[in-house]
Amino acid sequence: VPKQMLEQVLRQLQPLCTMEQQFLEKFFQLSQDTADLPGLEVSVRMCSLHPEEPTTQVLSELFACLEPELRGFLDVCNKVHPFGCLQVLLALSDSVFGIWGSSSAPSSSFLNTVLSNVLLLAKSSFNKCVGTLCKEIEEAKIPSKMKGGILPSVSRFEEFVGFSEEVFRTAQRRRELDKAHLRLASSVFSSINSLSSANLKVNTDMVMMENFHHIHCFLCQKNIHCLEEKKGEAKQRYREHMEKYVIKYLGQPLEKLNHFFEGVKARLAQGVKEEEVSFQLAYSKQELRKVIQKYPGKEVKRALETLYRKVHKHLSPEENLLPVVWHSMEQEFIRQYREFEDLIRRCYAGSGIAMEFSLEDLLSYFSSSTLSN
């Protein structure tokens, strides 16, 4: 609405000012050399006082209230909509650059000068709006009872980008908007990163994963050129936090087994030979058998079913990340399983020790967990 109102005003102003300018030039012969027109004392006096064109000076006197009125009108437009400054900026830009690109209107015309001044004001209002929004996003407080889902700051970012892209859909000049998008993207990334120090009641990596994933999907839909780098960064951050989330929760079903083999790897890193690891009291064959016996197939299956329910409860349904996260957990579990098998083969060769469930069993456990919940 503000854009339509302003465009209507500008459409009426342009022919009015043009006709008035043409009348003045013709009636007072202002386009001629004023030295040859001694009768035009007003024009000569104005030219001696001001270096601008006589026509522009006369129009400035006739339309002295135009610029203040336009400034007041802009204030009204900005108040009609929270992001009204976007529409005002676009309407004025189109009008000013339209005049500059027109051969029928000189670049020094009165209206062009007035609109250029008002355009500077519109840019200032727009930058102030963006700055306020950036601060709002960066300082947004995390709800104390937050259980996951999309942060208010991310929704605010989406609201602005979605609205601005609709307004500038056919615009040729996007410089100011692109700069604003980059500022806001940096602010929303900073807002998400601040979660790492927040005292959340839910897993921080899970919340960060969901929000970066949400931003990545949103930017993929919008396909905004200036935010391509941010889109890639969001994807990278989403994957990083998913990996942290997966590793944190996947260690729980086989916690003691993980702990045991972490110790084995630590001994190897310290220089203990593979064939000598089993002679370490804490990592003997007997200790390994004890740990493995704690994880029979049915216990692993039950643990995975519990884990699936927990992950299902953590993740918000809107992002539909459950299949992705569960598949990632499956891949990580397979990697760990193969690593355990490799360490057993290298450090406990000939002992006959093996995991109590096979890789095929593991795959079936993951598959059945999704079906039973």
Q: 89 and 123 in contact (C-beta within 8 Å)?
A: yes
Q: 244-276: per-residue pLDDT in tens?
A: 999 888 766 788 898 999 999 999 999 999 999
pLDDT at residue 29, as a whole number? 73
pLDDT at residue 237, as a whole number? 96
State percent of the chain over pLDDT 90: 47
HSE-CB at 264 with a 13 A cutoff on CA atoms is 27
pLDDT at residue 104, as a whole number? 52
At 344, list the tokens.
Answer: 């057993």
In this predicted structure, the answer to whether residue 198 has a pLDDT above a threshold of 80 is no
Q: 171 and 120 in contact (C-beta within 8 Å)?
A: no
In this predicted structure, the answer to whether residue 309 has a pLDDT above a threshold of 60 is yes
Q: What is the pTM of this model?
A: 0.78
pLDDT at residue 209, as a whole number? 94
pLDDT at residue 373, as a whole number? 62
Buried b (16+ CB within 10 A) or exposed e, 176-214: bbeebbebbbebbbebbebbeeeebeebbbbbbbbbbbb
pLDDT at residue 108, as a whole number? 43
Q: 308 and 370 in contact (C-beta within 8 Å)?
A: yes
**Mean predicted confidence (pLDDT) in 322-350:** 93
Residue 240 or residue 55, greater confidence:
240
Residue 37 or residue 170, greater confidence:
170
- Cα distances (Å, whole numbers) of residue 62 to 20, 58, 140, 145: 10, 6, 49, 62
In this predicted structure, the answer to whether residue 196 has a pLDDT above a threshold of 50 is yes
pLDDT at residue 289, as a whole number? 95
CA dist., res. 146 & res. 55, Å (int): 64
Q: 92-125: per-residue pLDDT in tens?
A: 888 777 654 555 544 347 788 888 899 999 999 9
pLDDT at residue 249, as a whole number? 80
